[in-house]
Amino acid sequence: MTTTRFAPSPTGYIHVGNLRTALMNYLIARKAGGTFILRIDDTDPERSKEEYVDAIKQDMEWLGLHWDRIERQSERLDRYADAADKLREMGRFYEAFETPTELDLKRKKQLNMGKPPVYDRAALNLSDAEKEALRAERGNGVWRFKLDHERIEWTDGILGDISIDAASVSDPVLIRGDGQVLYTIASVVDDTEMGVTDVVRGSDHVTNTATQIQIIEALGGACPRFAHHSLLTGPQGEALSKRLGTLALRDLREQGVQPMALLSLMARLGSSDPVELRSDMAELIEGFDVNRFGAAPTKFDVQDLFPLTAKHLQSLPLADVADAVADAGVPAELAESFWEMARENITTLGDLKGWWELCRDGAEPLIADEDREFIAEAVALLPEGPFDGETWGTWTKAVKEATGRKGKGLFMPLRKALTGMERGPEMATLLPLLQVIRARG
């Protein structure tokens, strides 16, 4: 059975880049009728914060990315310790004592000599007595996994056939000197024990994948299918990493971006299928295929989310936005007609308030000197209330007859006088909502 997971580290708020990973894994699971796990990668007790765990859950719920199970790595430390023991017994695990400065020096030397900066395995030559002495001097060493120096190969769901020479990769550190288990082994143990069949993650994890494949094999697990999506860049192709802080999902939510707009963009951006606004999750699932994504960096422009949000809102019935309409201050008896008027004139629900203020308080009229008389005449011709959808037509017909004006010369000064703007909603829909005029009528 297909099982996928989204595995954020709760060290910050999740952003559009994380969402891409979450969504792809979610859609794969749902499309196959499988299981989607939310896995909290919280093995780092210093950087992991409970508030971020809560925030991740909130963001996922907001988007409707419901998980079937939640797992926390901090509750599974004994499993990782067992796996580490197993690797130790197999002779695939060794303790190394280099300090970060020493490692850095080694790397620089290798680079100077035109060699790849791969850990030289000097620790493998330490005698027990030397290790004792180093331990006494520096404390416990780190534990590295001894890679088999052969080619590591897999067929990637996005990148195609991959072949990496293990000798070009440093033996990964799986346990730190202070005993903290690192993600590389924790993730392997979880993926294996939780029966994860498909792993989609960013292409920054490709080397990790190579080493994890060997660890999985050493532990006797089954390898999931891997797919590595490209990383997002800004609209000009610039690195997004620094700006991701401002592209947190909660910031987008604050700005009024609608979940469906965000999901529709992310389910297609960087794939050979066009971005299309989807109306619900079922459509997203139906139209998703991870194999159609490309390896090239994917340009993301936050501005693209707003036209999609506007389009999505336009399609909604009042029932779906009733809370927002009420929050904008619209009385219940006007909600239906207000929404009819406003839906095509907003980008986000945050714009409702402005339209309601216009309806409630009227606008500062925009009247050109040459139109003053005309407007006075028109006001005198305003029909008696109650106003409805016909009022605008009846009124402007009367004004036309009385003043001889027609077309733009007739309608534009009226629009500007009533709304203070040259463009906006259908006047026929807006007029009955204008409380000031209504009071006069």
What residue is closest to ligand GLU based on CB? 41
Tell me the window of 5-13, 232-240, 312-320, 419-427 that interacts with ligand GLU (CB under 6 A).
5-13
Mark residue 64 as left, alpha or beta (left: phi above 0; alpha: psi -120 to 50; beta: remaining). left
- According to the binding rule CB under 6 A, does residue 198 interact with ligand GLU? no
* Residues in contact with 10: Cβ distance below 8 Å, sequence separation at least 6, in sequence order: 40, 41, 42, 48, 49, 50, 52, 53, 56
Q: Which is nearer to ligand GLU, 147 or 189 (CB)?
A: 189
Which x/- pattern over 204-243 shows residues binding ligand GLU (rule: CB under 6 A)?
A: -x--------------------------------------
Of the candidates 11, 10, 17, the one whose C-alpha atom is nearest the C-alpha of residue 299 is 17
Q: Which is nearer to ligand GLU, 11 or 314 (CB)?
A: 11
Q: Which SS3 state, helix, strand or coil, does residue 334 take?
A: helix
- Shortest separation between residue 279's beta carbon and ligand GLU, angstroms: 29
Asked if 30 and 282 touch (Cβ cutoff 8 Å), the reply is no
Which x/- pattern over 152-191 shows residues binding ligand GLU (rule: CB under 6 A)?
A: -------------------------------x---x----
Cα separation values, 94 from 80, 146, 176, 435, Å? 16, 7, 12, 78
- According to the binding rule CB under 6 A, does residue 95 interact with ligand GLU? no
Q: Which SS3 state, helix, strand or coil, does residue 364 take?
A: coil
- Shortest separation between residue 39's beta carbon and ligand GLU, angstroms: 8
Q: Which residues pair with 161 in a beta bridge?
A: 155
Of the candidates 1, 56, 2, 54, the one whose C-alpha atom is nearest the C-alpha of residue 27 is 2
Q: Which is nearer to ligand GLU, 15 or 405 (CB)?
A: 15
Asked if 260 and 17 touch (Cβ cutoff 8 Å), the reply is no
- According to the binding rule CB under 6 A, does residue 9 interact with ligand GLU? yes
- According to the binding rule CB under 6 A, does residue 258 interact with ligand GLU? no
- According to the binding rule CB under 6 A, does residue 8 interact with ligand GLU? yes
- According to the binding rule CB under 6 A, does residue 201 interact with ligand GLU? yes
Cα separation values, 19 from 218, 266, 318, Å? 32, 8, 29
Q: Which is nearer to ligand GLU, 41 or 95 (CB)?
A: 41
- Contact with ligand GLU (CB under 6 A): which of 3, 7, 38, 147? 7
Q: Half-sphere exposure of 371 toward its Cβ, with a 13 Å CA cutoff?
A: 20
Q: Which is nearer to ligand GLU, 197 or 391 (CB)?
A: 197
Q: Which is nearer to ligand GLU, 43 or 264 (CB)?
A: 43
Asked if 35 and 3 touch (Cβ cutoff 8 Å), the reply is yes
- Shortest separation between residue 296's beta carbon and ligand GLU, angstroms: 21
- Shortest separation between residue 347's beta carbon and ligand GLU, angstroms: 32
Token code pair at residue 386: 């109650």
Rg (CA), the chain: 31
- Shortest separation between residue 207's beta carbon and ligand GLU, angstroms: 12
- Shortest separation between residue 190's beta carbon and ligand GLU, angstroms: 9
Of the candidates 4, 6, 177, 193, the one whose C-alpha atom is nearest the C-alpha of residue 82 is 193
Binding residues for ligand GLU, rule CB under 6 A, total 8
- According to the binding rule CB under 6 A, does residue 26 interact with ligand GLU? no
- Shortest separation between residue 53's beta carbon and ligand GLU, angstroms: 13
Q: Which is nearer to ligand GLU, 189 or 277 (CB)?
A: 189
How would you label 330-362 residue by residue, b for 16+ Cβ within 10 Å and e otherwise?
A: beeebbebbbbbbbebbbbbebbeebbebbbeb
Asked if 161 and 153 touch (Cβ cutoff 8 Å), the reply is yes
Residues 41-70 that bind ligand GLU (CB under 6 A): 41
- Shortest separation between residue 163's beta carbon and ligand GLU, angstroms: 21
Q: Which is nearer to ligand GLU, 12 or 362 (CB)?
A: 12
Q: Half-sphere exposure of 352 toward its Cβ, with a 13 Å CA cutoff?
A: 25
What is the C-alpha to C-alpha distance for residues 223 and 436, in angstroms, rounded to an integer?
69
- Shortest separation between residue 81's beta carbon and ligand GLU, angstroms: 19
User: What residues make contact with ligand GLU under the rule CB under 6 A?
Assistant: 7-9, 41, 183, 187, 201, 205
